[in-house]
Amino acid sequence: MFYSKSFINTSREDPKVAECRGHKLLLKANFLYMVSSGIYSYLPLGWRVLDKINKIIRSEMNLVGAQELFMSAVQPIDIWKKTGRDKDLEEVMFKFKDRKSREFCLGPTHEEEITEIVKRYISSYKQLPFVLYQIQTKFRDEPRPRFGLMRSSEFIMKDAYSFSLTQQCLEDNYQKMYKAYQIIFDKFKFNYFISEADPGAMGGSASHEFMVPAEIGEDVLYFCPKCKKYYKEEGKCLVCQCETKSEKVVEVGHIFKLGTKYSKAQGAFVLDQQGRRKPLIMGCYGIGVSRILSAVAETSSDSKGLIWPKTIAPFDATLLVLDKSQTQEALSIEALLEKECFSILIDDRKSPAGVKFNDAYLIGNPYIMIIGKNYRESAKIEVEKRETGQKFEIAKDKIKDFFRDEYNIK
């Protein structure tokens, strides 16, 4: 793609509204547009990242056999009254009445709605177990939206729900999801850890949170530097008795063993092998999809700009054309790499070289390639690895092998 034809509009000034480093960079590099406090639109660069995050999540969910659906954002308050969560979540719900004075909310989460859907179609143990998931917008009237997509009032979540007859089957689903989450968060290159958590308003018997350490984190955990264990409470490390250190963390994922709270309250029962009526045993599994974009920006950058991991970068490389006469050559390099499924942003603008370099660093694609003034004589492309600053000179006919090696493609 040509930069000159793209909708990428970076800014030179630091945005005044951003309270943290990652969010400042996402606004400056034009990944996001702030519509209102806590409400954002994803611009083409941000949407490319989000699309890759979603593809990683979808692929791992599908691998563990979860089936994707897409539920309504508008939900009748009546279904919330069945579980009493119309009161528990009253403060964060965006509520409204339609022209017939029926009460609705914009879904802050979907346990009630999925339970209504499932009970309509499931009546026998033979139809169990299964897992359903969606990637969808949630709405929560947060008391203090801040740090961009970290805590916003409208955000994207992946939420999955498992349904089974027995506790053992819930355990199996829970373990599968736990492992899938590890694979997903590894792919985002997070330095994350998993902590046992309080199920809170979701209910149920157990839950785990996937946490990423960050200065702007709103939760605090206690960390033993020797055993690398995290604790909810300050108190010496239970293994080695060392002093623990407090650490601020951001929750990027949360899984719950819900049990029968929703199925009992909403009447979701099946007949078991002996013909007895049993409530469905549920689990739910959330990932803060849009929060991940901000969490990566917050934890992966330098003084020049963002540094995207290869797995979710908007493009694999920015190709700087520093001499207009080389534009055709740039297209031919792009074609070579696109054949191998690498995506290239060709900076063909008339701007000075300094501006192009600044924007390439700011946007943070993993590689910056340069077709310099000497290309005609040397026939070599200069390549800089954004993460490490390492520089390479690669002949055009070797460029595809270089990228294949860097991406570990056999």
List interacting residues with ligand ATP (CB under 6 A): 109, 140, 142, 151-152, 155, 157, 251-254, 286, 288, 290-291
The rounded distance, in Å, linking the Cα atoms of 37 and 89 is 21
Alpha-carbon distances of 356 from 41, 343, 349, rounded to whole Å: 25, 18, 8
- Confirm or reject binding of residue 119 to Mg ion (CB under 5 A): no
Would you give the DSSP letter of residue 64? Answer: T
- Confirm or reject binding of residue 151 to Mg ion (CB under 5 A): no
Do residues 163 and 123 make contact, with C-beta atoms less than 8 angstroms apart? no
Cβ nearer to Mg ion, comparing 254 with 257: 254
3-class DSSP state for residue 328? Answer: helix
Helical packing angle, 21-28 and 289-299, nearest 10°: 100
- Confirm or reject binding of residue 158 to Mg ion (CB under 5 A): no
Task: Give me the count of residues in the chain.
Answer: 410
Q: Which residues make Cβ contacts (< 8 Å) with residue 49, sequence separation at least 6?
A: 31, 293, 308, 312, 313, 314
**Least separation in angstroms between CB 210 and ligand ATP:** 7
Cβ nearer to ligand ATP, comparing 85 with 291: 291
What does 192 interact with, of ligand ATP, Mg ion, none (CB < 5 to 8 A by kind)? none
Contact segment (CB under 5 A) with Mg ion among 121-129, 251-259, 331-339, 343-351 equals 251-259
**Least separation in angstroms between CB 185 and ligand ATP:** 11
Cβ nearer to Mg ion, comparing 247 with 359: 247
Owner of token pair 């409530």: 279
What does 173 interact with, of ligand ATP, Mg ion, none (CB < 5 to 8 A by kind)? none
Tokens linked to 390? 């390492």
**Least separation in angstroms between CB 256 and ligand ATP:** 8
Cβ nearer to Mg ion, comparing 152 with 365: 152
Cβ nearer to ligand ATP, comparing 156 with 270: 156
- CB hemisphere CA count around 73 (13 angstroms): 13
Cβ nearer to ligand ATP, comparing 244 with 290: 290
Do residues 258 and 283 make contact, with C-beta atoms less than 8 angstroms apart? yes
Alpha-carbon distances of 309 from 25, 120, 255, 312, rounded to whole Å: 16, 43, 25, 6
Cβ nearer to ligand ATP, comparing 252 with 317: 252
**Least separation in angstroms between CB 246 and ligand ATP:** 17
3-class DSSP state for residue 262? Answer: helix
- Residue number of the CB atom closest to ligand ATP: 288
Nearest C-alpha neighbor of 47 from the set 250, 357, 314: 314
**Least separation in angstroms between CB 254 and Mg ion:** 4
**Least separation in angstroms between CB 173 and ligand ATP:** 17
Cβ nearer to ligand ATP, comparing 38 with 305: 38
Nearest C-alpha neighbor of 280 from the set 89, 125, 96, 49: 125
- Pick out residues in 18-77 that bind Mg ion (CB under 5 A): none
In the list 24, 229, 254, 356, the residue contacting Mg ion (rule: CB under 5 A) is 254
**Least separation in angstroms between CB 182 and ligand ATP:** 15
The rounded distance, in Å, linking the Cα atoms of 150 and 146 is 7
What does 291 interact with, of Mg ion, ligand ATP, none (CB < 5 to 8 A by kind)? ligand ATP
Do residues 347 and 360 make contact, with C-beta atoms less than 8 angstroms apart? yes
Size of the site for Mg ion (CB under 5 A): 1
Contact residues toward Mg ion (CB under 5 A) are 254
